[in-house]
Amino acid sequence: MKFSGRFQGYHAKSFQKDLVSGLIVGIVAIPLGMAFAIASGVKPEYGLFSTIIAGILISLFGGSTFQIGGPTGAFIPVLFAIVMQYGYENLLIAGFMAGVILLCMGIFKLGKLIQFIPRSVTIGFTAGIAVTIFTGQIANFLGLRNLKQHEAFLDNMKELGMHLGTINAYSVLTAGICLVILLMTPRWFPKIPGSLIGILVSTVIAAWCFPDRIATIGSTYGAIPNSLPSVHWPSLTWENIQHLIKPAFVIAMLGGIESLLSAVVADGMSGTRHNSNRELIGQGIANMVTPLFGGIPATGAIARTATNIRSGAASPLSGVIHGVVVLLILFLFAPYASSIPLASMAPILMVVAWNMSERRAFMHLLKAKSAESLVLVITFVLTVLTDLTTAVETGLILSGIIFVKHMSERFITVKVLPDSSDKQIHVSVCPVHEEHVHPQISMFNVEGALFFGAANLFEKSILEAAHSKPQIIILKMDSVPYMDSTGQSSLESIVKHFKKHESIVLFSELQEQPLQMLQKAGLHEAIGKGHFFEHTKQAVHFALSKLHAVPCPVCGHNGHTEMHQTAEAVSKIESGSASLKGTPV
């Protein structure tokens, strides 16, 4: 894979910047990696393995210059649910499969599709994940004992309530010390990672003042090894693939969304521009390799990426250095990490949950009291009470229904006549008055996307408004930007209907996409190329040449005369798009 552009003009000073930023981000990533792994229901070292392997590979093969990859808070409820339901070994297989899915999405250039997920859905499930993370750390913060872990949110809340009597004051004190340091460090020492200082200080105090009184990483998960595990290939049987395809797809979708959101944030902070498809390829490679070393799924980490940029990173090499730093610290200091209290990890995850909650955007969208507010609330509630898959699927379906409804309401079919009093060089029209309800020529202005949500209304409007069986129907469609197969079918039905009554249907100012749709369906040829006009004035002249100079047999109105009264004005019109005015029939 070529890396042209990302290292252009790289020099020794750039390397110094990358070295400093990589060191800082590496130190920040260590407590987060362990905390995310513990919250996901696996051993803390698996989070470190993921930070090292995925962090290096995402920086090397991804499409964002400053992206930092690794385990993230967004994955916690998803991974925890998979571990509870399928087990850790199957989590590795699902992670590998997710990497394959991401790789294929990047290869087939599907990176842009993720951007079409509505903001109400994204904010809803992000806030729901934040609530799940925050509440999941209450037990460690309070030092509660003998809790059973459940997959369902309400069951876990019930479990918390039943064990509130087991609160450990030492755990609360340790967690409180870490929390205060986390909150105050950005104010006092903005360049020092508060999570690392909070863990170090609270661990030292706990080990010195009340040893063996609170649960630690070592007492709960055993000692952290100071080396990477050997490569272990996942058991990719057809049965496993069928069994794990759903969780793998969830991991892939969430990983893709999170990484591309992080890349967008990085672009805004650094002025660079990421390649979304290449980013998915990098994420895919990383998530295929990481499970081979026992690591959990990873994605782009917004907070660490922002720290990387603020620390002066010059290239993707800073992300590689960050992974190497974590690896070196693992080799040198892993035994000491076993003494870290679980109560010290809880505030870190609670702060992460608070920062990722999108609370301001959530409240802003909620106060709008729109249909999107309903989607937001439903997605949020389902994320908390059920699972991310159900929440996102429901949110997308509701968003799709709302979009179709709004687009259908914006679709207008207007019956009009040329306005002979208008002296502009463009064709102008006026509403059809009561005495003009049966002209021999019926002209319609069509506005909006002609798709499945509006096709039936369009067909009904045309047929009802033209019930007098005019000799010629002109459809002006310069305001129709898009047509789907249902809209094309409706047009075909309209043409067939009027052909049965020996009427002629003319089209003017058809845009490129609808015209191509008609050509592909063969309707363009069936209607006749001579019935399509670039300008409405041409369609009017053609209609006049075909019209019989007799009054309408239904109402006695002479549409031929009415049209000829405007012929002089129309003949003065220069080439260009027509501007039509009217009111819905």
Spell out the domain ranges in the chain: 34-358, 411-571
In this structure, the strands spanning 412-418 and 532-533 are unpaired
Question: What does the pLDDT average to over 57-72?
Answer: 94
Question: What does the pLDDT average to over 464-479?
Answer: 84
Decide: helix, strand or coil at residue 301.
coil
Question: What does the pLDDT average to over 311-328?
Answer: 94
Query: For the chain, what is the mean pLDDT?
Result: 86
Residue 31 is predicted with a pLDDT of 92
Structure tokens that stand for 504 in this block: 């002629």
Model confidence band, residue 432 (pLDDT cutoffs 50, 70, 90): low
Residue with more model confidence, 114 or 581: 114
Residue type (1 letter), 212 = D
Model confidence band, residue 433 (pLDDT cutoffs 50, 70, 90): low
- The conformational region for residue 415 under phi > 0 = left, psi -120 to 50 = alpha, else beta, is beta
Helix, strand, coil percentages, rounded to 5, for the chain = 65, 5, 30
Name residues whose C-beta falls within 8 Å of residue 188's C-beta, 6 or more positions apart in sequence.
none
Closest among 87, 91, 72 to 33, alpha carbons compared: 72
Residue 227 is predicted with a pLDDT of 87
Residue 514 is predicted with a pLDDT of 94
Decide: helix, strand or coil at residue 121.
helix
Task: Please report how the helices 359-367 and 119-136 are oriented relative to each other, as an axis angle in degrees rounded to 10.
Answer: 130
Question: What does the pLDDT average to over 261-282?
Answer: 91
DSSP classification of residue 370: S
pLDDT tens, residue by residue, 122-150: 999 999 999 999 999 999 999 998 888 88
Residue 379 has pLDDT above 50, yes or no: yes
Residue with more model confidence, 113 or 548: 113
Least confident of 67-81, 248-262, 428-442, 456-470: 428-442
Residue 431 has pLDDT above 60, yes or no: no
The CB-side HSE value for 408 (13 A sphere, CA atoms) comes to 13
Closest among 102, 97, 86 to 42, alpha carbons compared: 86
Residue 551 is predicted with a pLDDT of 53
Measuring CA to CA, how many Å separate 181 from each of 26, 34, 128, 174, 178? 20, 19, 26, 11, 5
Q: Which of 2-6, 183-187, 241-245, 261-265 has the highest mean pLDDT?
A: 241-245
Pick the CATH number of 411-571 from 3.40.980.10, 3.40.50.300, 3.30.360.10, 3.30.750.24: 3.30.750.24
CA dihedral sign, ordered 94, 100, 103, 104? negative
Question: What does the pLDDT average to over 285-305?
Answer: 95
Cross-strand partners of 444 = 415, 475
Residue 270 has pLDDT above 50, yes or no: yes
CA distance 59 to 213: 41
Residue with more model confidence, 449 or 578: 449
Name residues whose C-beta falls within 8 Å of residue 409's C-beta, 6 or more positions apart in sequence.
none
Question: What does the pLDDT average to over 554-582?
Answer: 43
pLDDT tens, residue by residue, 216-253: 999 998 889 988 888 988 888 899 999 999 999 999 99
> In sequence order, what DSSP letters do the residues of 198-252 get, joined into one string?
HHHHHHHHHHHHSTTSS-BHHHHH-PPPSSPPPP------HHHHHHHHHHHHHHH
Q: Taking CA 92 as the corner, what is the angle to CA 89 and CA 96, rounded to the nearest 5 degrees?
A: 145
DSSP classification of residue 147: P
pLDDT tens, residue by residue, 90-118: 999 999 999 999 999 999 998 888 778 89
Model confidence band, residue 578 (pLDDT cutoffs 50, 70, 90): very low
Residue 581 is predicted with a pLDDT of 35
Residue 582 is predicted with a pLDDT of 33
Structure tokens that stand for 303 in this block: 């907070």
pLDDT-above-70 percentage for the chain: 88
Task: Please report how the helices 388-409 and 119-136 are oriented relative to each other, as an axis angle in degrees rounded to 10.
Answer: 160
Say if CB 23 and CB 312 are below 8 A apart.
Answer: no
Question: What does the pLDDT average to over 489-506?
Answer: 91
Q: Long-range contacts for 491-499 (Cβ within 8 Å, ≥24 apart)?
A: 491/450, 491/518, 491/523, 492/521, 492/523, 492/526, 493/459, 494/459, 494/462, 494/463, 495/523, 495/526, 495/527, 497/463, 498/466, 498/473
Model confidence band, residue 556 (pLDDT cutoffs 50, 70, 90): very low
The CB-side HSE value for 223 (13 A sphere, CA atoms) comes to 7
Residue 190 is predicted with a pLDDT of 82
Residue 557 has pLDDT above 70, yes or no: no
CA distance 308 to 59: 12
Residue 5 is predicted with a pLDDT of 59
Helix (H) / strand (E) element for 542: namely helix 536-546
Give the chain's largest Cα–Cα span.
Answer: 107
Least confident of 139-153, 205-219, 423-437, 469-483: 423-437
Residue 417 has pLDDT above 80, yes or no: no
Structure tokens that stand for 50 in this block: 């993921």
CA distance 278 to 264: 14
For residue 469, the tally of other CB atoms under 10 A from its CB is 18
CA distance 277 to 271: 19
